[in-house]
Amino acid sequence: MKAVEIYTQPRCGFCTAALRLLATKGAQVTEYDVSRMPGKRAEMMQRAKGRHTTPQIFVGDTFVGGCDDLFALQDAGKLDTLLKG
């Protein structure tokens, strides 16, 4: 299964929902709290093509986007394939 990186911040309902979905898939997730880790917000914005909201999600080298994008992949039946590579 591909590694997942997710940029989050506290009290973000979308972050919580994304993390919960990834947990149900058994994904190995590395979480970066942009409010507590200096430089991570700038890194996130660079990697996410200027997006500044959380969460921003990456599966392996693939930029997924935010929570809505993650759930759209799930609804389309494509998330499992992406995670498994």
What is the CATH number for 76?
Answer: 3.40.30.10
Amino acid, single-letter form, for residue 74: Q
The pTM (predicted TM-score) of the whole model is: 0.94
Instruction: Please give the pLDDT value at position 58.
Output: 98
Euclidean distance between CA atoms 72 and 44, whole angstroms: 21
Residue range(s) defining the domain that contains residue 68: 4-84
Instruction: Please give the pLDDT value at position 38.
Output: 85
Q: Which helix (H) or strand (E) holds 65?
A: strand 62-65
Is residue 66 packed enough to be buried (19+ CB in 10 Å), middle (13-18) or exposed (0-12)? buried
Instruction: Please give the pLDDT value at position 14.
Output: 98
Our count of domains for the chain comes to 1
pLDDT one-digit tens code per residue, 9-68: 999 999 999 999 999 999 999 999 999 998 999 999 999 999 999 999 999 999 999 999
What are the φ and ψ backbone dihedral angles of 71, each rounded to 5 degrees?
Answer: -70, -30
